[in-house]
Amino acid sequence: MNNKSVNLPLDDSTCGWYSALNDLPAAKRLQGMQRADFAVIGAGFAGLAAARRLAEQLPQARIILVDAQRVGYGASGRNSGFVIDLPHKFALEHPDPAHKQRLLSLNRSAISQLQGLVTKHGIDCQWSHAGKYQGAVGPRGQAHLEHFAKLMDELGEPFKWVNGEALADVIGSQHYSQAIYTPGCYLMQPAALVNGLGCSLPENVELLEESPIQRLERDSNGGWILHGSKGQITTPKLLLGTSIFTQEFGFLRNRLLPVMTFASWTRPLSDAELARFGGQLDWGLTPADHAGTTVRMTQDRRLIIRNTYKHVPKYGRSTSDAMREGVRNDHRKAFLARYPQLADVPFTHTWGGVYAISRNFTNFFGELQDNVYASACDNGVGAAWGTISGTLLADLAIGADSNQLRDIQAVTGMPSLNPPEPFLGIGVRSRIRLAAWNSRSEL
């Protein structure tokens, strides 16, 4: 088994979503020798859902959920706040209609699950059934929109074209030529949602934060020993909701690609600035060309710009203040192109988040080896996928069966092997630069 110490998360401290949280409970950390019936590493969407499901199915079991950071501080609290029902762009082009319908059903089950938890526990996270716009700036984006409309027709899903002034009335910008609106997406404040999910776990889940697991070891009974700096957890069954960091524990090595995306947001707009903005609150727009710019207006009046992708082989250690400053400047250009009337409104935060993609755009779900299970590689659509895959991973670990479990097994597989370094890094960086160049008119 892997005896090497793992490379731990090193996220920046400038995430706007996390900074907006209030009254966080004190962190409970791993101390001493602990035993659990199940241990779950990673308290993002997948780990939280797995721990909750285990606890609900086995109320007498002791479940320990452990994270290297605070809940909401990692990737699950750093996205742009979309919970998307539609399959990802690449999955939408899958030749098997049944494959796409399975993905759609799984995503919608996750949304229903999250909505139920938000309502039941009163989680204050700006949860909203707002739908989503997919926007085009120029001819390249319009061609992507027409292709998307064709895929929606084939899938039998509703959508609406939105043009000109009707779009500007919503988003406060004349920058876009047209958009397609799809109604199934929900919006939220991701750090608040994840934190709320962590605070509302069943009583038989013990959440340990700021407790990085540095090494895994097999015990003499075929179970696992999780080594932290100030304690250990012994468990017969281990579930990994660790996304890109799964490879740090010796699994799926050379199959996952760590990519970081970046976002910046403004302070809340004043009444006068909101009047100049001229649009509505609480909407989200993703680019028709996937390498373009995502824009959101939150319920609390903040505009968000997200673009720029970086290959980060050392995760947070691959970034720097200078890199973030360059990203912030790029975001500023995109912001001013869309909102010249708000040129005096500053950004207050710029942050990045690491996620895992695979070269064949395949998600891993299942048993990695005896008594260790993982959901890894969400390919950039983590909120819904993490929630449903974590839930079903718990079912798999306890031997349950369902149509949904068979569905997720049918649509997942093994991420393809990556070429060795330095060829991998050269190739990924070249692909990112080419995508940015081709999409420059949509940025």
Q: What is the 3-state secondary structure (H, E, C) of 303-316?
A: EEEEEEEEECCCHH
Query: Cβ distance 81 to 19 under 8 Å?
Result: no
Q: Does the pLDDT value for residue 421 go beyond 90? A: no
Q: How many beta carbons lie within 10 A of that of residue 86, not counting itself?
A: 25
pTM of the full predicted structure? 0.95
Q: Which one is the CATH code of 129-188+257-359+431-442: 3.40.50.12780, 3.20.20.150, 3.30.9.10, 3.90.1150.110? A: 3.30.9.10
Domain range list for the chain: 16-77+192-255+364-425, 129-188+257-359+431-442
Percent of the chain residues past pLDDT 90, beyond the cut: 85
Structure tokens at 384: 């819904």
Among 179-188, 202-211, 411-420, the range scoring the smallest mean pLDDT is 411-420
Mean pLDDT, rounded, of the chain: 94
| H-helix or E-strand spanning residue 302 | none
Q: Does the pLDDT value for residue 48 go beyond 80? A: yes
How far apart are the two ends of the chain, measured CA to CA in Å? Answer: 45
Q: Does the pLDDT value for residue 304 go beyond 90? A: yes
What is the β-pairing status of strands 160-163 and 178-182?
A: antiparallel
Query: Cβ distance 236 to 222 under 8 Å?
Result: yes
Average pLDDT of the residues in 411-428: 84
| H-helix or E-strand spanning residue 361 | none
CATH superfamily of 16-77+192-255+364-425: FAD/NAD(P)-binding domain (3.50.50.60)
Average pLDDT of the residues in 347-355: 96
Query: Cβ distance 68 to 271 under 8 Å?
Result: no
